[in-house]
Amino acid sequence: MSENQNSSNCRISRNVLIKAPGLLPMLYTPREIAEDLDVPETTLRDWLNHGAPHSRDESNHIWIDGKQFAAWVDNQRNARKKPTHPLQVGEGFCMRCNTIVKIQNGEIRPVKGNLSHLKGKCPICGGIVNRGIWNAGSSELPQC
Amino acid sequence: MLDRQNYLNVKLFLKYSRVVHGRSSLQISNDFEHLKSLLLWAGSQPFGSVPTINTSLFDFLIQKAVNGLDQAELQSILNTNQRFLLWVKAMFPVEFQNIRLSWIIKISAIMEGKEVII
């Protein structure tokens, strides 16, 4: 048996994401797994070409391990999640530079209740950077 | 790894239920979920030799039911499994000659607390 894996992101439908954990720890043929997941066999074969785990026997027949395939589907879902970078204290998003920057000369102005408005300058382009802050304190102002 | 022939027998039973008994796709889907426990319990052993497994199906389900299976659901799973084993014994009498009818009936009778005398 030989393994063929090319890592690449595939678009996995919600239906498959729900059904994949129910696959059994056994070897499936592509047709069986396509029936169980309710997807066309061509779609499944496309996923196999894009790195879904499978093996071939000496007769060149494709076999898919149910648990390995379920793990691969789960990885695909996690891979599609975009990484997030929460703003730290004194940071803001500069619309001109399109990046997170440390706000310079920041001024805090209360808006309503605990909500305040932090306005400062971008250290790269010198443009104005705005940010809404909750429970504003002196720690929100950058040391610069 | 599970026995592939067991899986194929289950699939055949589901197809038979759909075509002959006219069970809906939702019922078929439920039946398949119930029969998955039988497949997992049998493991790599063919269904023909399941009476030799030490742990009973009922005990296996109880162990698996840590995340909450109510009594009605458990009974439903046992009934589906019993229905499947009766069907498989009727359809393939030679392959499943080791499975006794009394053993099959005992599967759901355990849950109901009935005494089986055959």
CB-hemisphere CA count at 13 Å for B78?
A: 25
Residue B79 lies in a domain: yes
Per-residue pLDDT at A144: 39
For A9-62, how does the pLDDT look when each residue is reduced to its tens digit (9 = 90+)? 678 889 999 999 999 999 999 999 999 999 999 999 999 998 899 999 999 999
Residue B77 lies in a domain: yes
Residue A99 lies in a domain: yes
Whether residues A103 and A70 fall in one domain: no
Residue A86 lies in a domain: no
| Cα separation values, A143 from A83, A138, A139, B113, Å | 28, 10, 9, 75
Number of domains in chain A: 2
Point out which residues pair with A131 in neighbouring strands: A118
Residue A41 lies in a domain: yes
Whether residues A25 and A95 fall in one domain: no
Number of domains in chain B: 1
The boundaries of the domain holding residue A101 are 91-140
Interface confidence (ipTM) of the complex: 0.79
The boundaries of the domain holding residue B82 are 4-112
Residue A121 lies in a domain: yes
Nearest CA to A66 among A111, A104, A94, A36? A36
pTM over 0.80: no
Residue B117 lies in a domain: no
**Whether residue A142 has pLDDT greater than 50:** no
**Whether residue A137 has pLDDT greater than 60:** no
Whether residues A72 and A125 fall in one domain: no
Residue A101 lies in a domain: yes
Per-residue pLDDT at A143: 41
Structure tokens at A137: 């304190």
Whether residues A61 and A127 fall in one domain: no
For B30-88, how does the pLDDT look when each residue is reduced to its tens digit (9 = 90+)? 999 999 999 999 988 888 887 777 778 888 888 776 566 777 888 889 899 999 999 99
Chain A closest-CA separation from residue B24 CA (Å): 16
Q: Which of B3, B6, B7 to mutate to test the interface with A (most CBs of A within 10 A)?
A: B7
* Mean pLDDT (chain B, rounded): 84
When mean pLDDT is compared across A98-107, A121-130, B57-66, the lowest value belongs to B57-66
Whether residues A95 and A76 fall in one domain: no
Whether residues A97 and A74 fall in one domain: no
Per-residue pLDDT at B56: 80
Last residue of a domain, one of A80, A102, A119: A80
Q: Which of A1, A18, A26 to mutate to test the interface with B (most CBs of B within 10 A)?
A: A26
Residue A74 lies in a domain: yes
**How much is the average pLDDT of A99-124?**
91
